[in-house]
């Protein structure tokens, strides 16, 4: 199985801050990396697919980059509705696996 490791596990930030979350795969996954946002009590919501493609309807303050084993999700200017848990997920092979999540909290 491909292991996905996110860092940090949690962070505190203020509205307007630039935030970057890192995801590392245990082996190369090319660009087969997706990012999801999960708010409390809700299902995950797709933000970014194939490492850098913004899903329909997702604000442009979200961006992704990377390939191989190292990937980042950046929120350029944190908004109140962005406080949530973010997960990366690899689509390179089965079983599909997720990172452990990064919780973005209000400072």
Partner 1 sequence: QVQLQESGPGLVKPSQTLSLTCTVSGGSLSSGGYYWSWIRQHPGKGLEWIGFIYYSGTTYYNPSLRSRVTLSVDMSKNQFSLKLTSVTAADTAVYYCASYDSSVGEDYFDHWGQGTLVAVSS
- CA gap 71, 58 in Å, rounded: 19
Q: Which is nearer to partner 1, 61 or 103 (CB)?
A: 103
Q: Is 99 near partner 1 (CB under 8 A)?
A: yes
Which residue in 42, 60, 80, 81 binds partner 1 (CB under 8 A)? 42
Q: Is 32 near partner 1 (CB under 8 A)?
A: yes
3-class DSSP state of 86? strand
Q: Which backbone phi and psi does 73 adopt, to 5 degrees?
A: -115, 130
Provide CB contacts within 8 A for 79, sequence distance 6+. 15, 59, 61
By CB under 8 A, which span of 10-18, 35-43, 59-67, 68-76 interacts with partner 1? 35-43
- CA gap 72, 94 in Å, rounded: 22
Q: Is 68 near partner 1 (CB under 8 A)?
A: no
Return residues touching partner 1 (CB under 8 A): 1, 32, 34, 36, 42-46, 49-50, 55, 87, 89, 91, 94-101
């Amino acid at each position: 199985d491909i292991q996905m490791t996110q860092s940090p596990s949690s962070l505190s930030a203020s509205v307007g801050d630039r935030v970057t979350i890192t995801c590392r795969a245990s082996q190369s996954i090319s660009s087969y990396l997706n990012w999801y946002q999960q708010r409390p009590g809700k299902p995950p919501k797709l933000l970014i697919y194939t490492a850098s493609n913004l899903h329909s309807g997702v604000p442009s303050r979200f961006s992704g980059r990377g390939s191989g084993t190292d990937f980042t999700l950046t929120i350029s200017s944190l908004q109140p509705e962005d406080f949530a848990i973010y997960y990366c997920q690899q689509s390179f092979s089965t079983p599909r696996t997720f990172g452990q999540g990064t919780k973005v909290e209000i400072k």
